Amino acid sequence: MWLLLLLLKVASLAPALGQDWGLTQSQTLTAGGAKAWRYTLSPRGEEARALWEALSLQYRDHLRAGYRVDLGGWRLYFLGGKLRLERHCQAVNPACFTFGALPVDKARQDRFLMELGALLDRALGEAARTGGTVTLSRLFRVELRRNQALPYPAAPSGWKP
């Protein structure tokens, strides 16, 4: 019963954040019991998908070149050939993001990234409490154990370094 209530609560909060991003929470149930939670963030709608495709390509290029990518409260970077995810901004604002050189109005990109940052923070917070996998489509995937210490080891998702 609690599981159903939790899923309804997550679903009811998503529209309040905006229309660009979706957060899907799932868990596989088998005869052996429940498996770890999976949280997947992906853009919703044609415009959001096109914006994320262009932005994620630039983010991948930044990472390959040895730069960090700031995603609001989180920072993604390579260290010793391994992708890492760590805490970044405590008070998230538009300056906490790596902006793309895109033909998109800055205010639009701000809204897009702020929504992404809020959902990413929520997904990582849940996964850190329960254990599970968080995937940001086209960028990274991180598998967390319950109460795992930072920085989190991550893996590219949808690309090769």
Segment 89-115, tens digit of pLDDT: 999 999 999 999 999 999 999 999 999
Quote the pLDDT of residue 18: 63
Does the model's pTM come out above 0.95? no
Residue 90 falls within a domain, yes or no? yes
Residue 24 falls within a domain, yes or no? no
Lowest mean pLDDT among 10-14, 21-25, 91-95, 134-138: 10-14
- Rounded CA gap, 159 and 4, in Å? 34
> Which of the 8 DSSP states describes residue 110?
H
pLDDT higher than 90, residue 62? yes
CA angle at 97 for the pair 91 and 102, rounded to the nearest 5°: 150
Quote the pLDDT of residue 12: 36
Average pLDDT over residues 147-158: 95
Q: Which domain holds residue 136?
A: 36-156
Question: Count of domains in the chain?
Answer: 1
Residue 130 falls within a domain, yes or no? yes
Average pLDDT over residues 32-39: 84
pLDDT band at residue 36 using 50, 70 and 90 as cut-offs: confident
Chain Cα centroid distance, residue 108: 19
Quote the pLDDT of residue 122: 96
CB 73 within 8 Å of CB 90: yes
Residue 91 falls within a domain, yes or no? yes
CB 34 within 8 Å of CB 48: no
Quote the pLDDT of residue 3: 37
